[in-house]
A = this chain, B = another copy of it.
């Protein structure tokens, strides 16, 4: 029913998460009917540029166009702190808030026995090498609090303990502004366990 090139474009857009037949069709028609050639070229070229230019930072495994990402090349950051995150998206999330000024280390995902991601797959060798070559005082594990996150944090802790470092984990509890009645049981239990004395 569609010309072949339109069919291909619809199939291509289905690679995106949450995009089914209808949305892919709408996107394809938008490209055909509403965009000009400059916009079409810009999208296609941007994808090709990202494919060709983006690699992993040799130091922290974050995404970067250079051998070292902009954070690892920044000498003004606090060299005492190393924050371990699960993926490059987490780096952006934390950086956007401007609350952390140390360095990052990006894992290759979280340990997940269900998905077949074993401890050796998250590549801690690079992390250990980096810790040995630097003088970090504290390692902050900032992976999300879920089964995989807990397993990963425990494993990292077991590997790094004995290296004379403070190892910490981001606090779990009730998010600011949340309604008590919508808090799930595990979060509430964590919030009770980690309660803080205020006077």
Contact = CB atoms under 8 A, between A and B. Distances in A.
A17 B5 contact: no
Contact of A63 (B26, B32, B54, B95): B32
A8 B42 contact: yes
Given A2-B92, A29-B89, A12 B54 contact: no
Interface centre among A29, A43, A47, A65 (most CB of B within 10 A): A47
A96 B32 contact: no
SS class of chain A's interface: helix, strand, loop or mixed? helix
Contacts of A3: 53-54, 63-65, 69-70
A17 B46 contact: no
Copies of this protein chain in the complex = 2
Interface string A1-37: 1111110110111011100000001111111111101
Contacts of A45: 44
A197 to B, nearest CB: 37
B51 A41 contact: yes
